[in-house]
Amino acid sequence: MLADGSWRRLIDIANHYDLNFVVVLVASTFDLNQWAEALEEGAFDVLDVLHELPKAAEAAKRALWAAYLKGAGPSPQVANPPNVA
C-alpha cells in the first residue's frame, strides 16, 4: 500500500492511459502469491526490501530500458530539433 493508494491503481492508470512506463515494486510484506499476482497484473518486477535492495539499481536499469522499448522517452522531433538558418 502506497501513501496515496494501491500499487494496483498505479498499474491500472499506466495501462489505461498507455503511459509507457513500468512499475517496480519494492515491498517488505509480499509473499510468493502476492509477488506472482503483481507480475500478472503488470508490475515489471517486485523486490524484497529486506533481501533484494542491492538489486534495485539493476532492476531500475532494466525497467528504464523496457519503458524505452515500449515508447517512453522524448519523441525524435524533440530530441533532434531542426536547424534554423
Confidence of residue 2 (pLDDT cuts 50, 70, 90): low
- pLDDT digits 0-9 by tens, 13-65: 877 887 767 788 888 777 788 888 888 988 888 888 777 777 888 888 888 88
pLDDT at residue number 82: 58
> Residue 41: its pLDDT value, please?
87
User: What cell does 58 get?
Assistant: 539493476
